[in-house]
Amino acid sequence: MGQGLWRVARNQQLQQEGYSEQGYLSREQTRRMAASSISNGSHRKQVQGGIDIYHLLKARKSKEQEGFINLEMLPPELSFTILSYLNATDLCLASCVWQDLANDELLWQGLCKSTWGHCSIYNKNPPIGFSFRKLYMQLDEGSLTFNANPDEGVNYFMSKGILDDSPKEIAKFIFCTRTLNWKKLRIYLDERRDVLDDLVTLHNFRNQFLPNALREFFRHIHAPEERGEYLETLITKFSHRFCACNPDLMRELGLSPDAVYVLCYSLILLSIDLTSPHVKNKMSKREFIRNTRRAAQNISEDFVGHLYDNIYLIGHVAA
């Protein structure tokens, strides 16, 4: 009886405070609705923001500026500058979108001359129907042919009028081109000594230290893997060219082409000795100076010592 009266009194109190079971549910529903309202409000703001972005994209699309910038809308100078950074493959792809711009002759001329620095056809009046894009394809085809068969490659260039049948023109083409396989090029130069002579004269070794000049020489004309007549020919031609480029230095040091030849051979042997993992007892600086001055007595000890230091610090001259 007392417990029943207490429960009735407690329910009345809860009803007055609004925390009855029904009242509690209504309050909870009200709170959820308010939270839902806030969430919907923020969602509407997001939707509103999305609508703004949509309008912006739509505006860009209406101006034909969606995605990558339309190069045709830019000044021609700026468009050509952008396209000039592309290689041949990308430029061909760009021509599918911007045909007039990507097929421009100046762009393809730049690609040709940056890859093949010298061609006889550059200095001639272009024939009817000539285009640098077509020339690029022919130069690429000829280079691939050369890397398979050097004689056929050179004949291809001549048949297309790209190169004149002249050792000097072929030498200039080889000197200014970096797409030719060095192994095939070595075979070709070994057979065409007339081209080799003109290729050597294209090098300028003025005011260069002997080991550095020899590295540059072998970077263009690769040394054979084994000693032999061809290596001797290369060193002989280099020695004469180095002396011709540095007459004052040769007089000052008292060097002749024969002395430079001896030094070059000594540098090659020293390079092998210092860089080969199979040589355990490396040649010392004192030994190199002694051996070199035996072969070339007029050379100063300090100069030979500087040669040793260069190989020791920088590395092989024919790597």
Q: What is the pLDDT of residues 215-252, one digit of tens each?
A: 999 998 988 877 789 999 999 999 999 999 999 988 88
Handedness of CA 279, 284, 289, 294 (dihedral sign): negative
Q: Within the chain, where are the H helices? A: 2-17, 21-62, 76-83, 88-94, 99-102, 105-115, 132-148, 150-159, 167-175, 182-191, 193-201, 210-220, 229-245, 247-253, 257-275, 285-295, 301-314
Q: Which of 64-73, 157-166, 307-316 is least confident?
A: 64-73
Return the ∠ at Cα 179 (arms to 177 and 183), rounded to 5°. Answer: 105
Confidence of residue 79 (pLDDT cuts 50, 70, 90): low
Q: What is the pLDDT of residues 169-183, one digit of tens each?
A: 999 999 999 899 999
Q: Domains in the chain and their CATH numbers? A: 75-192 (no CATH), 203-314 (1.10.1000.11)
pLDDT at 141 (0 to 100): 94
